[in-house]
């Protein structure tokens, strides 16, 4: 499940990625390519606050030689990382993106409902169809 966050501060890493922080001090990884897509590079100032959708991603661990760290069970060691998935420079842009996403889901459900009614489906069948298409 994605969450919406306000990023108040951060800094670029030596690899060009960005470490962003919210008001609770939670650290979020921001990929270099995502920062660049918004015009921010290691030699530009990042204007804060900015707003974002964030999620938890499972990533593998590498040792000092860039080799995959393997646990005693022979499986690669993984950790969960908070990561920024999309950036919005203003609160209004984030709100609009969320409204647009919800509107799309509403329009899809409405179109499915209309088509199912025309086809003569029962309410139970329609509910099952809507649940399957939205999930």
Query: Closest by alpha carbon to 9, among 55, 47, 58?
Result: 47
Axis-axis angle for helices 91-118, 123-134 (nearest 10): 150
Q: How would you list the strands of the sheet with 3-7, edge to edge? A: 3-7, 50-60, 78-88, 27-30, 18-21, 9-12
CA neighbor of 27 nearest in space, from 8, 44, 46: 8
Radius of gyration of the chain from its Cα atoms, rounded to whole angstroms: 21
pTM over 0.85: no
At residue 134 the predicted structure's pLDDT band, cuts being 50, 70 and 90, is low
Q: Give the CA distances from residue 105 to residues 2, 60, 85, 109, in Å, rounded to whole numbers and listed in that order.
A: 16, 34, 20, 6
pLDDT given at position 90:
95
Cβ–Cβ < 8 Å for 40, 14? no
Q: How far is 69 from 21, CA to CA, in rounded Å?
A: 27
Q: What is the pLDDT of residues 55-77, one digit of tens each?
A: 999 999 988 888 889 889 989 99
User: Per residue in 3-40, pLDDT tens?
Assistant: 999 999 999 999 999 999 999 999 999 999 999 999 99
Residue predicted with more confidence, 134 or 123:
123
């Amino acid at each position: 499940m994605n969450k919406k966050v306000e990023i108040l501060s951060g800094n670029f890493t030596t690899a060009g990625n960005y470490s962003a922080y919210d008001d609770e001090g939670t650290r979020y990884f921001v990929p270099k390519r995502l920062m660049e897509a918004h015009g921010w590079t290691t030699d530009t100032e990042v204007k804060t606050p900015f707003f974002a959708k964030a999620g938890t991603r499972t990533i593998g661990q590498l040792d000092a030689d860039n080799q995959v760290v393997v646990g005693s069970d022979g499986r690669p060691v993984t950790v969960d990382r908070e990561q920024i998935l999309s950036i919005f420079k203003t609160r209004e842009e984030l709100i609009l993106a969320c409204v647009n996403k919800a509107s799309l889901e509403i329009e899809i459900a409405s179109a499915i409902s209309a088509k199912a009614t025309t086809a003569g489906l029962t309410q139970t069948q329609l509910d099952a169809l809507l649940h399957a298409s939205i999930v």
